[in-house]
Amino acid sequence: DTGVSQDPRHKITKRGQNVTFRCDPISEHNRLYWYRQTLGQGPEFLTYFQNEAQLEKSRLLSDRFSAERPKGSFSTLEIQRTEQGDSAMYLCASSLPGGQRNTIYFGEGSWLTVV
Amino acid sequence: AQRVTQPEKLLSVFKGAPVELKCNYSYSGSPELFWYVQYSRQRLQLLLRHISRESIKGFTADLNKGETSFHLKKPFAQEEDSAMYYCALKNQAGTALIFGKGTTLSVSS
């Protein structure tokens, strides 16, 4: 499968611990996105990279969240001092540069449960 | 404000019946709208986008700027159409998608 891959697929952590998710986008996709999805809701935008530059961050991305894409390829999303409200599916997506014909492709997501 | 509203959480129809999944949006200017679908245990994937004016798997969607709607339609539902459907709007900056809450379509025989 050459689609967007995410790891781990599931993570259970205790409140207060740090967690990190990894995303490998489709090769040659220079745009990378992180979304969060909670039960009964659609995906909500968190942040967006073009190559290694983080160009946009949502207000949902609190100070405890940090995302990086150091070499413009894979990306990590770290959540520090997790809270129960962080329990959600974290989706990564990628696309080619902007333009009306460029599709955003999603990964299968990383489920986070904070207990 | 940029917003997408999908008023129905669940739509249940019988096989062969017509389907219409509703989507309304709020946006200043010319919107770019999409329908994404998520089949059971699969990733979210693009179904269609309004600029392509295409029909995918028998589904079509027409942008109605007067009613600010982008409803998804199919004349004859199939059981394999059962899935979660999300309407999405590209934000003003063109950098992200704004999703509705989704509608579960259940097609039974």
pLDDT at A98: 65
| Chain A residues whose beta carbon lies within 8 Å of the beta carbon of residue B95 | 48, 55-56, 98
| Chain A residues whose beta carbon lies within 8 Å of the beta carbon of residue B97 | 43, 45, 104
Cα separation values, B55 from A66, A99, B5, B51, Å: 40, 21, 22, 12
* Whole-angstrom distance, CA of residue B72 vs CA of residue A31: 28
More confident residue, B1 or A101: B1
pLDDT at A101: 62
**pLDDT tens-digit readout, B43-56:** 999 999 988 878 88
**CB contact, 8 Å: B82 with chain A?**
no
**pLDDT tens-digit readout, A27-69:** 989 999 999 999 989 999 999 999 999 999 998 889 999 999 9
Structural Rg of chain B based on CA atoms: 13
| Chain A residues whose beta carbon lies within 8 Å of the beta carbon of residue B56 | none
Taking residues A9-16, what's their average pLDDT?
98
Contact residues for B99 (Cβ-Cβ < 8 A; gap 6+): A42, A43, A44, B4, B36, B86, B87, B88
pLDDT at B51: 80
A77 neighbors A65 (Cβ within 8 angstroms):
yes
pLDDT more than 70, % of chain A: 96
pLDDT band (50, 70, 90) for residue A2: confident
Chain A interface mutation, best of B5, B43, B87, highest count of A Cβ atoms under 10 Å: B43
Which parts of chain B sit beneath pLDDT 50? none
